[in-house]
A = this chain, B = another copy of it.
Amino acid sequence: MKARKWILAKHFEGVPKDSDLELVEEELPSLKDGEVLFEAEYLSVDPYMRPYSRALSPGSVMYGEQLARVIESKNEKYALGAHYLVRAGWRDRIVIDPDTPGGALGVSSVHSAIDTGSHPASLNIGILGMPGISAYIGLIKICDPKPGETVYVNSAAGIVGSVVGQIAKIKGCKVIGSAGTDEKCKWLTTELGFDYAFNYKTRDLNEALKESAPNGVDCFFDNVGDSLSTAIIVQHMNKYGRISCCGAISQYNDTTPPTGQLLYSPFVFKELKMQGFLFPSYAKHHQAMLVDLRKWVIEGKLKYHEDVVEGFENMREAFYGMLSGKYTGKVVVKATQATKLPAAL
């Protein structure tokens, strides 16, 4: 059977170019005992893929996770048609022995998908997957916001930011978000219940925060790591403020590290805490967080929007678009090569 994969032809330098990623076809081997043929249904594109790709040798398959279906199995634990989350990289089909642990990002390569009920199964790679759990970790484990506190999140209309803001509302906080278009801002306030949202491209950050957070910011969930992030830390954080560093998307395309000096004085005098985190380090909490996230989704307290890009061949376009802020909420790539299974399934 044929399969396709996206390989990193060259390390990204600055803004990613089309020639950096290459779509390649391959012939899959026939299955040995214990092996399973997974076929992608939904594939995720996430910001972390940009910096993590630096660790790949050119010619390697891009990092990534997918919601996949078993379409052939020589392992009795994996039934035909069953759904799994597979850390298989950017591939539309793969033959692996799923019981061999490990994986490029240090988590199990294959684990069961959760039942999303009346919601799309693709939530497994979105609000009920790594991005949703990351929002939960960074907000609850690092910022630990108290009712009545003010939470600010940037890239707020992205999947992580949108979950951060909504969990903060569930926790009784005042929530401010910024995003790159007026439409996204409108979605944040009218659909997701943010108290305030502003377009960072057209509004002055200091004015927007003076207006929306006259008493300062207690928790800052940072997805961006840009000069606006610095301005918030230096000028708007309250005493004992907490800053959660989830991502630094603004710095991922830099070819040289930003120069300049950390601005230590506010850390000392306001006793700020800034802490980064990565999803795998909180593995023992993932299941409990997922229970909460699923409950909130079912109760309608946690809303989501998915932008669906059709076709495995469009992963590169989806990835580059996501990095440039093209989408609202979670962007997923829907693989359209679906193999028909016997009717009995």
Contacts and interface: CB of A to CB of B under 8 A. Distances in A.
Interface in A201-227: 222, 225-227
A117 interface: no
A273 B278 CA distance: 12
B276 A275 contact: no
A272 B261 CA distance: 17
A23 B226 CA distance: 46
Interface string A261-291: 1111111111111111110010000000000
A278 B274 contact: no
Contacts of A267: 245, 248, 274-276
A323 to B, nearest CB: 15
B51 A269 contact: yes
Interface in A233-264: 233-234, 240, 245-248, 251-252, 257-264
A229 interface: yes
Contacts of A276: 264, 266-273
Contacts of A57: none
A278 B265 CA distance: 12
A275 B277 contact: no
